């Protein structure tokens, strides 16, 4: 929670993408730009917009935040009534990176722009096959694999070609696609990655999260179903079951950390689920404490729930600096320990002499927790009970979250007691799987728990792990 | 609270400056850079650092955020063991603005750099006199007036020349000054603007707020006293009473809005005072409601206090977008109403069908409150009881806060009932002056209440109002 | 000659590219960067470098001049012992343009980077076929067609796959190619576009012009032959006749305008050929004049030759502003006529009252000539005899020069006398084709004269003209 | 001649400034911007424009080329009918430099903007006195001294105050000044630095060089006389002899190197004088050679004159790269010898086996000459006779040219024969002082020869040399 921005430090899993689409609005690119600002928390490394112009698909993309990549002049050039947009979290720090989306290309059926959130677990296999058949790859995006499959299909329409292509890919994904005359949205057959449908007056909207609709003054209609494809064009909206539903397995981490608290997922408010996670955690692992604090911003809802459940004071114990971002100059060796202090500060008057419950949403490597606990100790906290609002993160995700290799996941290497000792807490507790599911409306709503259980809905071919790490 | 960044919109009074100084550290400029990041909430329009180099005072300043103005290359050039820094809130949107600080100049006693937080109410009179005597002015900073007074003094030392100059200026101010061999700090005889002293190992620190010490791993020593001048050089630290103490009148708005919650002022935690303001407001103006929400980020502490006092649920009802900043492209006429929505969103699941207490820290013009209340209504709130954690803001500040002219201050034009109607709340209440003072430790600690009462400690000459508006 | 930079104005045909390659030097990217600076006159719109790194091909490219696209940090990341580079002249002014080179991609035989100077006349046909077969196109570069053909070949080695691909493409081209382990250079079977081989100590170099070798302290070895492919790797250099020689037809405009005067082409010094063009023009079309001036910079050599032949004084009559570049703010309507004056000024003291021979290298649309003649008249020139050092430019080039459509070529629409009248000269003359060839060492050396004669070596399919205009 | 841009290398003395002014044109700032582009050769380190707006003087200035400092948005803000502009050559490479002009300030008589070309030899003395009297200095510009003197004068009008101030300063200077209602121009009593008056329709123009008038389509009227002050306002133009004429001593280096060849100075064409310098040099120091070449661009006129006089072929023997500018990345140690090669290349086909006369305009340190001669030798030149078109540069200039300290001027340390040996020429010759004066229209026209003779018109106080080096 120290930061979601690369180049600084982070104790979180990283989401790679947010997608958005609009059809039927004279200011399509400008709306997309605003929607990407709203989805910026899902990816800060690159941003891109493609628009269906008069005669062709125009696009612009670049490294950096939405506000850095798009200026008024560029937006003005991106004139058209339909557009898609994308923000992305890159794992590479290189200034040479070229993997921004949307991916825009021409093929036998015309021009196509593609924005993708998720990960295709068999991308490397398909890529090898496609290369053997003579395809060239200009990016390391797994999205490019889908482009080739669509182009190589013999089907006469884009919908059919896409369906044929989708039958070959496996993984968790939500796609937005733009042609010269239509906007399409798709979700994988488990619905692992989210995608919602909205309206703004006469226009249709698609977005990874419903908060993007709110920010435009639009309205949430419904979530795209697992395996569903929607096609929006001049004639209105049509829906297909492109792939048979394989189950429902929404990524639970969307609730735990990724999504904005004001978004709706699986029909539930993200904030409410977080608060409920806190409550259930309090029931399962109460602590004898004087007050409860959360790590800003993502753990505040859970901390409030924890406090409410035990009728403990909910306090602001940590302050986050909003101005330490990507352009932050790293302290040199001598000043290295400043990095955490610049980002977070403890409120001495709040925690001094107190028994504190510290709520955080997850522990990936453990280093961030150790830093925060040290800050609180230096500020005089007497006891620190660390409560994590999700179960131990033990297995890598292959469906679109970029975590570390398994050897870096502290929970897959150590016991809870060992983790507690390593981060320096007086006690440490996680919720049960059942507790988490209950907070998220019950198992029957359908969630992906692979990173907690190691059981994967979509089989993961050998080598997929490597792709996950290098090519997100 | 919508934003502290210019170019977007804001319902807040604006603070113009944060200052920092360090003496006796080999990485003086780098520490100053980090401290300015921590003080960035006090001013986002320009930033500057001056450093006492081997043979001269070097400086760099520019328009923009600290992270935009300073890169590694510039910091490397700013080599020296003592430095001062400044962040500033400008009232001009012009790209031609040249009023960044520190002001660096040479005079008969050598080189001097000056960083200033506050406002000199007789600056225009002194300036007229100085111009008549042959001085030239290269900026519109009132700081430049002090520079001339120091230069024209016949006193043999800087301390004495400064003291003589200070006797001529009136207003609220905190100054940090850097010579080739020393660092000085000063506070006006009422202590209207804050300034604190800290240490980092062998080095001395000065800062507008103590949170800057924490972020460097340093420690807070004490606040500079009203009228006190501290001089730090190779021989250590000395303190003078440069001007007789005129009273104690710390700006109460530092507690209400400006300061970071983790800072200490008048010996009190800003967060704790805010929470207490909420409690007292709850005692004075309870509301029959289902839950309490605050406007992020500055009103969250007061909202928590309000909720605690009445044993109501404290909820997160509004989400703020952290990525809508200065580079934000303003929506055109057609999309204008998006500006608020992009910055803030209401949590429908939290407020729908509920009787909501909305806590905000202040109302300046009233437009922002109206927007937020509309957002909450659209999200389904049944009742909205607006509670402001400070008394009605009715008179302009002449001591360093940039507000509107009196005709734009809604509380100086309208009754509480009329304001309620205009912003669309079901009820509206402010705390009493006594209540506010009690929350801030009692009247005896000494506070400036001019903006609430219209009674000014330092007499304000005619024409000062204009200066306030144009030259901050 | 007014300028080679877009955004200003130009009376010249535009060359689209310069290419460079190096193999076997520890500072491959840095050398390439310097070589591109030397080749910058061949293209100012975009620049790119690809380098064969330890484990993959890294690249960086962007819009703008070499010095704008590459900084020290990027060059440092481009670490490796082999590299290729490219500068490009774009016909689009859009800030959305994405067609910078080298094109870097992976295919079944590994990674490949491609830099291309020239134009493939059947690219649109091949592209249609490839799209029908399922290829996707991410740029509008004809270079991408070659990439697909190589990838789709079943040949077991890159050399063979390339040879097979080349058999399908038609046009004028010079390619540099980089794999993880080798550097390749290729020239079309007529040798229309230039490519030379050089050495720098142990390293091999390839460049569009030999001046790039000089700038690195390297040495010119020889020109790549028509249809020749050279392969440079750890084992040294090998040469193949990839395609049978179809003739020798070096673009004569390389001598007339594109190449730097210090380059060698077809074994001849560009400067010497230009001077000879001036001499022959003087023999064929002498003028009764007091002095000779050239349009800077490209026509100075020819002007000197013209003057020498007739024993007339060679004078500097026009001064060019070196600082009016791409970032030049266009004068508004009211100030529009300033554009030429800012770029060029006449030397009144030189031309006043004189009969002037004005030598320019070509006339494309005629507007620039008209402007210059007006400048000279205003500066007092009594007579202006315009002498063009190349024959009338009457037909579009399909082999890599971006000219206008035929309807905009003044010489294809009007007689010499009509052109004279339109540009306002007192007389106008061009050299004969035979004269031009004599200046360039004789017809037997082999030159492409298509733009003068309309006879094309490589047949141009329908539709190629459009490609030339849109996709260079 | 290698380059006039800092950060690369240069064998030239450096001029510090170009100034421009316009009164009575609705696009005053835009015209000034274009005029500065035309004067850019006089200074590339900073640029600035001040404009007399509706209610105040607005200004913008920054480090870099005119095209980098000014964009359309800034020019649009600089709205007004009168403006001055300035380009400056800085001797510091620091990114912290703050000495851009115009200097804009307010004083008792209103607002004033000042642009200055030249150097005040007693600035340090005046500055000490002013500081002792209580003035503060915010820049290290000697221009600031004049501002203080004007402000401290008791005279009732600006003209009189300026005249009083001028009586105290000594040196070579041309000033343009802008008030809210008028434009003024001034030249020192010897006329050391140039300043000309022009017209553009109803508007008046002032410029360091007449080429700026040409570039705007305006016309040259006359040069401002030594000691003359012109005042242009709504009532027209008035002229005063502000200071008695002390003689005529125009800087001869304006002809030799600084001015553009298309400018007029002392009634003479710069190009014509350069050519005449070449002729006279040929008479005084002929060489047995096959051809004559000049170092581009500044020595081409002299080379042409030399060739004509001896009836030798004038050739293009060196090609200059126009794209190696300030952003040029310096080669590292290993590649250091590339710096000259990237900037200049020799034409082997021209010089190989030939006896070459190489004409350059001056030798400051000798390193550049040595590099060029080495280039020519490597290109096969058999003999190299170096001819310099000005007399040996032996003494520092105190009137506005930034040269080295005397110990770095090779001609003040070594004999002609020793210099010849050091630069590696086969022979070396300079013109006589008498010859130079003859070329510039005769001694009676009045020239400053201090840098050749060490005799200074304006006495140079102790310490002035230091100022010259540090504060230009």
Distance CA A331, CA C393 (A): 62
How many other CB atoms are there within 10 angstroms of residue A326's CB atom?
Answer: 15
User: Is residue B405 pLDDT above 70, yes or no?
Assistant: no
SS3 D340: helix
| Chain D residues whose C-beta sits inside 8 Å of any chain B C-beta | 58-60, 73-74, 77-78, 94-96, 98, 103-108, 131-132, 134-138, 147-148, 151-153
* pLDDT interval class at A13 (50, 70, 90): low
Decide if B278 contacts B304 (C-beta within 8 A): yes
Distance CA A116, CA A101 (A): 8
The reported pLDDT for the residue numbered D465 is 45
Task: Please indicate whether, in this complex, the C-beta atoms of B308 and A308 are within 8 angstroms of each other.
Answer: no
Do chains B and D touch, with touching meaning 3 or more CB–CB pairs less than 8 Å apart?
Answer: yes
Which range has the worst mean pLDDT, B410-424, B425-439, C77-91?
C77-91
* pLDDT interval class at A93 (50, 70, 90): very low
Mean pLDDT value across residues B169-178: 96
Reference C429, options C420, C438, C421, C437; nearest CA is C420
Decide if D178 contacts D102 (C-beta within 8 A): yes
Mean pLDDT value across residues A57-86: 91
Decide if C198 contacts C131 (C-beta within 8 A): no
The reported pLDDT for the residue numbered A463 is 60
The reported pLDDT for the residue numbered C320 is 93
- Tell me which residue in D323, D337, D347 faces C262 most closely, judged by beta carbons: D347
Reference D385, options D354, D426, D330; nearest CA is D426
Which residue of B lies nearest to D161 if distances are taken between CA atoms? B134
User: Is residue C15 pLDDT above 60, yes or no?
Assistant: no
Q: Spell out which residues of chain A touch residue B71, defining contact as CB-CB under 8 Å.
A: 329
Question: Which CATH number is B271-444's, of 3.40.50.300, 3.40.50.2020, 3.40.50.2300, 3.40.30.10?
Answer: 3.40.50.2020
Q: Spell out which residues of chain C touch residue A98, defining contact as CB-CB under 8 Å.
A: 59
Distance CA B298, CA B295 (A): 7
* pLDDT interval class at D400 (50, 70, 90): confident
Task: Please indicate whether, in this complex, the C-beta atoms of C131 and A105 are within 8 angstroms of each other.
Answer: no
The residue ranking higher by pLDDT, D341 or D4, is D341
- Residue B429, sorted as left (phi over 0), alpha (psi -120 to 50) or beta, turns out to be beta
- Tell me which residue in B217, B313, B325 faces A338 most closely, judged by beta carbons: B217
Task: Please indicate whether, in this complex, the C-beta atoms of A269 and B350 are within 8 angstroms of each other.
Answer: yes
The reported pLDDT for the residue numbered D148 is 97
Mean pLDDT value across residues C218-244: 97
The residue ranking higher by pLDDT, B398 or C52, is C52
Q: What is the ipTM of this complex?
A: 0.89
Q: Spell out which residues of chain A touch residue B313, defining contact as CB-CB under 8 Å.
A: 308
Reference B285, options B437, B381, B427; nearest CA is B427
Distance CA D249, CA D263 (A): 18
The reported pLDDT for the residue numbered B446 is 94
Instruction: Kindly report the nearest CA distance between residue C365 and chain D, in angstroms.
Output: 23
- Distances C120 to A204, B264, C174, C399, C402 between C-alpha atoms, Å: 42, 72, 11, 7, 13
Instruction: Kindly report the nearest CA distance between residue D133 and chain B, in angstroms.
Output: 7
The reported pLDDT for the residue numbered D12 is 63
Instruction: Kindly report the nearest CA distance between residue A377 and chain B, in angstroms.
Output: 14
User: Is residue B403 pLDDT above 70, yes or no?
Assistant: no
Q: Spell out which residues of chain C touch residue A94, defining contact as CB-CB under 8 Å.
A: 77
Distance CA B113, CA D351 (A): 59
Instruction: Kindly report the nearest CA distance between residue D87 and chain C, in angstroms.
Output: 13
Tell me the per-residue pLDDT of C63-105, one tens digit each, with 9 for 90 and over.
888 998 998 888 998 999 999 999 997 544 455 656 789 999 9
The residue ranking higher by pLDDT, C174 or D14, is C174
Interface with C, mutate which of D64, D202, D271 (most C CBs under 10 A): D271
Q: Spell out which residues of chain C touch residue D317, defining contact as CB-CB under 8 Å.
A: none
* pLDDT interval class at D461 (50, 70, 90): confident
The residue ranking higher by pLDDT, D407 or A170, is A170
Decide if B47 contacts B77 (C-beta within 8 A): no
How many Å from the N-terminal Cα to the C-terminal Cα in chain B? 21
Catalytic annotation, residues of B? 17
In degrees, to the nearest 5, what angle opens at C-alpha D89 toward C-alphas D85 and D93?
Answer: 130
Which range has the worst mean pLDDT, B277-286, D8-17, D105-114?
D8-17
Decide if A211 contacts A262 (C-beta within 8 A): yes
Q: What is the pLDDT of chain A when averaged over all its residues?
A: 89
The residue ranking higher by pLDDT, C1 or C209, is C209
User: Is residue D451 pLDDT above 70, yes or no?
Assistant: yes
Tell me the per-residue pLDDT of A206-253, one tens digit each, with 9 for 90 and over.
999 999 999 999 999 999 999 999 999 999 999 999 999 988 999 999
Mean pLDDT value across residues D194-202: 97
The reply to whether D268-456 shares the fold of D14-249 is no
Q: Which residues of A242-260 are buried (b: 16+ CB within 10 A; e: fewer)?
A: bbeeeebbbbbbbbbbbbb
Which chains lie within 8 Å of chain A at 3 or more CB pairs, if any? B, C
For A190-256, the DSSP string reads T--S--EEEEETTEEEEESSTHHHHHTT-EEEEEPPTTEEEEEETTEEEEEE-S------EETHIII
- Tell me which residue in C34, C297, C342 faces D215 most closely, judged by beta carbons: C342
CA dihedral for C133, C135, C139, C142, sign (positive or negative): negative
- Tell me which residue in C75, C261, C264 faces D329 most closely, judged by beta carbons: C75
Q: What are the beta bridge partners of residue B117?
A: B174
Q: Spell out which residues of chain B touch residue A300, defining contact as CB-CB under 8 Å.
A: 316
Q: Spell out which residues of chain B touch residue D104, defining contact as CB-CB under 8 Å.
A: 138
Interface with A, mutate which of B18, B205, B209, B215 (most A CBs under 10 A): B215
The reported pLDDT for the residue numbered B98 is 67
Task: Please indicate whether, in this complex, the C-beta atoms of B321 and A40 are within 8 angstroms of each other.
Answer: yes
DSSP collapsed to 3 states, A320-389: ECCCCCCCCCCCCHHHCCHHHHHHEEECHHHHCCCEEEEEECCCCCCHHHHHHHHHHHHCCCCEEEEEEC
User: Is residue B217 pLDDT above 90, yes or no?
Assistant: yes
In degrees, to the nearest 5, what angle opens at C-alpha C435 toward C-alphas C430 and C437?
Answer: 120
Q: What is the pLDDT of chain D when averaged over all its residues?
A: 89
Task: Please indicate whether, in this complex, the C-beta atoms of B342 and A65 are within 8 angstroms of each other.
Answer: no
User: Is residue B370 pLDDT above 90, yes or no?
Assistant: yes
The reported pLDDT for the residue numbered C142 is 87
Highest mean pLDDT: which range of B334-343, B396-405, C239-248, D67-76 = C239-248
The reported pLDDT for the residue numbered A263 is 96
Reference B142, options B165, B159, B158, B163; nearest CA is B165
Q: What are the beta bridge partners of residue C434?
A: none
- Host H or E run for residue B223: strand B219-223
Q: Spell out which residues of chain C touch residue A60, defining contact as CB-CB under 8 Å.
A: 95-96
Which residue of A lies nearest to B35 if distances are taken between CA atoms? A342
| Alpha helix (H) residue ranges in B90-244 | 123-132, 143-152, 158-166, 211-215
A403, two tokens: 């975590």
Distance CA D316, CA C302 (A): 11
Reference B17, options B402, B394, B422; nearest CA is B402
User: Is residue B5 pLDDT above 70, yes or no?
Assistant: no
Instruction: Kindly report the nearest CA distance between residue C258 and chain A, in angstroms.
Output: 31
Catalytic annotation, residues of D? 17
The reported pLDDT for the residue numbered D93 is 46
Interface with D, mutate which of C40, C262, C372, C380 (most D CBs under 10 A): C262
- Tell me which residue in A94, A135, A147 faces C151 most closely, judged by beta carbons: A135
- Distances D160 to A114, D130, D468 between C-alpha atoms, Å: 72, 19, 28
Q: Spell out which residues of chain C touch residue A134, defining contact as CB-CB under 8 Å.
A: 107-108, 148, 151-153
Mean pLDDT value across residues D394-400: 88
The reported pLDDT for the residue numbered A229 is 98
- Tell me which residue in D77, D96, D105 faces B59 most closely, judged by beta carbons: D96
Highest mean pLDDT: which range of B77-91, B210-224, C328-342 = B210-224
Domain boundaries, chain D: 14-249, 268-456
Which range has the worst mean pLDDT, A424-438, B390-404, D66-80, D266-280?
B390-404
How many other CB atoms are there within 10 angstroms of residue A316's CB atom?
Answer: 22
Q: What CATH number does the domain located at D14-249 have?
A: 3.60.20.10
Distance CA C292, CA D198 (A): 30
Do chains C and A touch, with touching meaning 3 or more CB–CB pairs less than 8 Å apart?
Answer: yes
- Tell me which residue in C73, C96, C152 faces A77 most closely, judged by beta carbons: C96
Q: What percentage of chain D reaches a pLDDT higher than 70?
A: 90
Task: Please indicate whether, in this complex, the C-beta atoms of D31 and C335 are within 8 angstroms of each other.
Answer: yes
Distance CA D30, CA D215 (A): 13
Instruction: Kindly report the nearest CA distance between residue D48 and chain C, in angstroms.
Output: 16
Task: Please indicate whether, in this complex, the C-beta atoms of C269 and D314 are within 8 angstroms of each other.
Answer: no
- Distances A264 to A200, A212, A222, B321, B325 between C-alpha atoms, Å: 17, 11, 10, 16, 25
User: Is residue B92 pLDDT above 90, yes or no?
Assistant: no
User: Is residue C335 pLDDT above 60, yes or no?
Assistant: yes
The reported pLDDT for the residue numbered A98 is 67
- Host H or E run for residue A31: helix A28-38
The reported pLDDT for the residue numbered C188 is 96
The residue ranking higher by pLDDT, C68 or D354, is D354
Q: Spell out which residues of chain C touch residue D41, defining contact as CB-CB under 8 Å.
A: 322-323
Distance CA A363, CA A430 (A): 10
Which residue of B lies nearest to D134 if distances are taken between CA atoms? B152
Q: Spell out which residues of chain D touch residue B73, defining contact as CB-CB under 8 Å.
A: 95
User: Where does C143-263 show beta strands of DSSP type E?
Assistant: 171-179, 182-187, 196-200, 203-207, 219-223, 228-233, 236-241, 250-251
Interface with C, mutate which of D8, D34, D275 (most C CBs under 10 A): D34
Decide if C149 contacts C168 (C-beta within 8 A): yes
Architecture of domain A268-444 in this structure? 3-Layer(aba) Sandwich (3.40)
Task: Please indicate whether, in this complex, the C-beta atoms of D335 and C27 are within 8 angstroms of each other.
Answer: yes
The reported pLDDT for the residue numbered C458 is 83
- Using DSSP bridges, classify how beta strands B219-223 and B228-233 pair: parallel, antiparallel or unpaired: unpaired
B34, two tokens: 């980090």
Residue C207, exposed/middle/buried by CB under 10 A (0-12, 13-18, 19+)? buried
Distance CA D69, CA B44 (A): 23
| Alpha helix (H) residue ranges in B133-210 | 143-152, 158-166
Q: What CATH number does the domain located at D268-456 have?
A: 3.40.50.2020
Architecture of domain C269-445 in this structure? 3-Layer(aba) Sandwich (3.40)
**What are the phi and psi torsion angles at D359 (to 5°)?**
-105, 125
Interface with C, mutate which of A101, A104, A132, A136 (most C CBs under 10 A): A136
* pLDDT interval class at C461 (50, 70, 90): confident
Reference D15, options D67, D85, D66, D91; nearest CA is D91
Catalytic annotation, residues of A? 17
Task: Please indicate whether, in this complex, the C-beta atoms of A136 and C106 are within 8 angstroms of each other.
Answer: yes
SS3 D416: helix
Question: What residues contact residue C233 under an 8 Å CB cut-off, 6+ apart?
Answer: C23, C181, C182, C183
Distance CA B163, CA D243 (A): 43
Which residue of D lies nearest to C216 if distances are taken between CA atoms? D338
Tell me the per-residue pLDDT of D82-133, one tens digit each, with 9 for 90 and over.
999 999 975 444 556 568 899 999 999 999 999 999 989 999 999 999 999 9
Which chains lie within 8 Å of chain D at 3 or more CB pairs, if any? B, C
Q: What is the pLDDT of chain B when averaged over all its residues?
A: 89
């Amino acid at each position: 929670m120290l930061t979601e921005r690369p180049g600084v430090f982070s104790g979180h899993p990283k989401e790679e993408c947010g997608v958005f689409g609009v059809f039927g609005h004279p200011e399509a690119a400008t709306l997309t730009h605003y929607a990407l600002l709203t989805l910026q928390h899902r990816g800060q490394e690159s941003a891109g917009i493609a628009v269906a112009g008069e005669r062709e698909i125009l696009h612009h993309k670049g490294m950096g935040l939405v506000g850095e990549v798009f200026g008024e002049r560029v937006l003005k050039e991106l004139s058209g009534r339909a557009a898609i947009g994308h923000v992305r979290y890159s794992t590479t720090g290189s200034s040479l990176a070229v993997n921004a989306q949307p991916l825009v290309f021409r093929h036998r059926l015309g021009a196509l722009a593609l924005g993708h959130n998720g990960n295709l677990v068999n991308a490397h296999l398909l890529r090898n096959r496609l290369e053997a058949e003579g395809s060239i790859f200009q990016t390391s995006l797994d999205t490019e694999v889908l482009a080739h499959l669509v182009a190589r299909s013999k089907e006469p329409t884009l919908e059919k070609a896409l369906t044929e292509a989708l039958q070959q890919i496996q993984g968790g994904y939500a796609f937005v696609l733009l042609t010269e005359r239509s906007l399409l949205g798709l979700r994988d057959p488990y619905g692992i990655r989210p995608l919602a449908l909205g309206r703004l007056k006469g226009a249709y909207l698609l977005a990874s999260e419903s908060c993007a609709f709110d920010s435009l003054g639009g309205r949430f209609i419904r979530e795209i179903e697992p395996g569903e494809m929607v096609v929006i064009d001049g004639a209105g909206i049509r829906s297909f079951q492109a792939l048979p539903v394989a189950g429902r397995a929404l990524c639970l981490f969307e609730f735990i950390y990724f999504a904005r608290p004001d978004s709706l997922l699986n029909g539930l408010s993200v904030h409410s689920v977080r608060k409920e996670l806190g409550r259930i955690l309090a029931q399962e692992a109460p602590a004898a404490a004087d007050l409860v604090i959360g790590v800003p911003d993502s753990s505040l809802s859970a901390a409030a729930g924890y406090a409410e459940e035990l009728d403990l004071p909910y306090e602001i114990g940590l302050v986050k600096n909003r101005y330490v971002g990507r352009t932050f100059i790293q302290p040199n060796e001598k000043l290295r320990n400043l990095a955490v202090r610049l980002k977070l500060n403890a409120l001495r008057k709040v925690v001094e002499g107190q028994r504190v419950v510290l709520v955080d949403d997850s522990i990936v490597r453990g280093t961030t927790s150790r830093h925060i606990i040290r800050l609180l100790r230096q500020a005089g906290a007497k006891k620190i009970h660390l409560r994590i609002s999700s179960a131990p993160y033990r297995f890598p995700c292959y469906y679109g979250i970029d975590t570390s290799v398994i050897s870096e996941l502290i929970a897959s290497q150590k016991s809870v007691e060992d983790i507690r000792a390593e981060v320096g807490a007086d006690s440490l507790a996680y919720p049960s799987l059942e507790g988490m599911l209950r907070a998220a409306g019950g198992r029957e709503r359908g969630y992906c728990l692979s990173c907690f259980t190691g059981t994967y809905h979509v089989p993961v071919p050998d080598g997929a792990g490597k792709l996950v790490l290098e090519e997100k």
